[in-house]
Amino acid sequence: MRNLLTIAVVAATMFVSQAGQASKEGEENTIALTLIAADWLGTRNMASQPIHGWTYFDEVGAHVWVEQWHEKNPILGRHPSVGEVDTYFLASIAAYLLVQELLPEPWDGLFRRGTIILEFSSTLSQLGVGIEF
């Protein structure tokens, strides 16, 4: 519940900070930054957990380890630390804000919407494997 409150506070802050921008641009930035924050919380939660999984023997009798979950972002690696996750997402937010400001129209809008799609997909994937926020 605390994490949902954090997401709500971040979203409200982003909305207020975008208030001076054109309505659609501000809304897209708010959505993108809120989804980045949700992805950050889920990834941070995963990084703070011990590695979970199970073992089994395959059809030839070989011992096989299956992880319950792992990070799919190749930049972070399979099992990043909480500090690595925080550093990555702070840099990601800074890069997002810089790139969307520097891109000319219509590329800036495409970049914002692409970020929304990517982050929405990542968040759904985290929810699908049972990662909590």
pLDDT tens digits along 77-86? 888 999 999 9
Helices vs. strands in the chain: H and E counts, helices first: 4, 2
Query: How much is the pTM?
Result: 0.74
Q: What is the pLDDT of residue 1?
A: 45
Is cis: bond before 106, omega within 30 of 0?
Answer: yes
CA–CA dist 81, 99 (Å, integer): 27
Q: How far is CA 69 from CA 8, 42, 47, 79, 129, in A?
A: 26, 12, 10, 9, 7
Per-residue confidence band for 62, with pLDDT thresholds at 50, 70 and 90 = confident
What are the φ/ψ torsions at residue 69 (nearest 5 degrees)? -155, 160
